[in-house]
Amino acid sequence: MKFNNDMLRLYAVTDRHWTGEQTLYEQVRDVLMGGATCLQLREKDLDEASFYEEAKNIKELCRLFDVPFIINDNVMLAKEIDADGVHVGQDDMACVKAREILGPDKIIGVSAHTIEEARIAKEQGADYLGVGAIFPTSSKDDAEVLGIERLKEMTETIDLPMVAIGGISYDNCLLLKDTGIDGIAVISALFGQKNIKQATIDLKKRVDALYETMHTCLTIAGSDSSGGAGIQADLKTMLANKVFGMSAITALTAQNTTGVTDIMDVTPGFLESQIRAVFDDIYPEAVKIGMVSSKELIHTIVEMLKHYDAKHIVVDPVMVATSGAKLISDEAISTLKEELLPIAEVITPNIPETEVLTDMEVKTVEDMEKAAKKIYDTYHCAVLVKGGHQLNDANDYLYNGEKGTWFKGHRIDNSNTHGTGCTLSSAIASNLSKGYTLEESVRHAKTYLSGAIGAMLDLGQGSGPMDHGYNI
């Protein structure tokens, strides 16, 4: 059986002291039915013949559930019955010797209590480490308690899958979140419970929560029927950046790579219903706002985001086309300035939009810096002024009120750039939802955008879309 890290998620270690009214075989069956991802047979007192028979039977049971069967310490028995692997302690056979006996394809785990022990195990060919004791444990009264901080130090120092062991239970396992471990190994938390199957189900759900890293992001924007911009581009971008995307649609458009042929705004009431539906169920950790064409819709958005105390609001102030043509009314622009921009964490105007927001011409990099400061002073939000409009080679300038940062880019010779503004702002929001700083989020977003453009997707008869999934 080929080893992978997921096998360590819920690692069950047997102990016959907990058998009670059940046989060990029955207990193992219940653990496997409950969702254990690995089974280690640990016997210290059983005679050799009985151990052999027991190991053969439990191995076959593990095969039925496609769960790796590991034998503790006894390397020769593991070889004899063709177990999936063996786990050795510091006082047992050396890992390098076990590897010689079992060959390259078997799983070998090693107990480690220090970084040095972990380093040696890795050098000798271990597949994973059992690290502990993390908490005080009744199974080994003399075990030194490693603690969470030393556990984190080991995961950060040694590049090898690790399973935490020692005193771990349903009640304390969530304390191990963000420690870098690949799973937990338990004995009494499973085998010491009255209903072993249910205890395993419950603990597996608990452990899975350690690895729930799906962050959430909402896009409030128009629909692009051709899929290159608007909410379609936003949701693709969020998925590619490993974020769960949700949407509230401001307008339906009939468009393709050659242009827009029709548009239909939603009503303010329906937009409010969409936003409420999202926030009342799956609270977004960041919000991206794209094109909104009317004063009433902008007012609704602001009212809802204030009501729900929305975080990490990114506004792509779609007001002016690259050609210079206005895309929304003067009244809507005024509402955008007065109500929406002041609640944003960052806005991402292009050069023409920057000129509208500042009532100044932007012709040089010095103008970009001056304009960014003026926007911040006026609206009290950070601003990313996007270059590229024959002003520079896609260099963008971020100003947050304290400092300005240039993000250097290079122009990619690809005319298919439909939806670049939507994509960049959505990528920024995605990274903010994951906990990155604004500066980090912009940097990651620009890297992603460059990759999407650089994939050189060529669809449609006009300015085509980018390959949002180039990195998937």
| CA-closest candidate to residue 284, choices 108, 426, 466 | 426
Amino acid in position 212: E
**What is the C-alpha to C-alpha distance for residues 63 and 59, in angstroms, rounded to an integer?**
6
Contact 189, 203 (CB under 8 A): yes
Q: Is 387 a catalytic residue?
A: no
Whole-Å CA distances, 192 to 20, 216, 277, 429: 9, 38, 44, 46
**What is the C-alpha to C-alpha distance for residues 153 and 428, in angstroms, rounded to an integer?**
31
User: Which of 200, 348, 417, 423 is labelled catalytic?
Assistant: 417
Q: Is 420 a catalytic residue?
A: yes
Q: Is 419 a catalytic residue?
A: yes
Give the three-state DSSP class for 461: coil
Which H or E run includes 263? Answer: strand 259-265
User: Which of 106, 236, 288, 386 is labelled catalytic?
Assistant: 386
Contact 243, 214 (CB under 8 A): yes
Q: Is 192 a catalytic residue?
A: no
User: Which of 155, 253, 420, 423 is labelled catalytic?
Assistant: 420
Kindly state the tokens that stand for 75.
């390397």
Q: Is 421 a catalytic residue?
A: yes
Contact 210, 189 (CB under 8 A): no
User: Which of 422, 434, 446, 464 is labelled catalytic?
Assistant: 422
Contact 10, 40 (CB under 8 A): no
Its sign, for the CA torsion 59, 60, 64, 66, is positive
Q: Is 423 a catalytic residue?
A: no
User: Which of 419, 423, 434, 464 is labelled catalytic?
Assistant: 419
Q: Which residues are catalytic?
A: 386, 417, 419-422
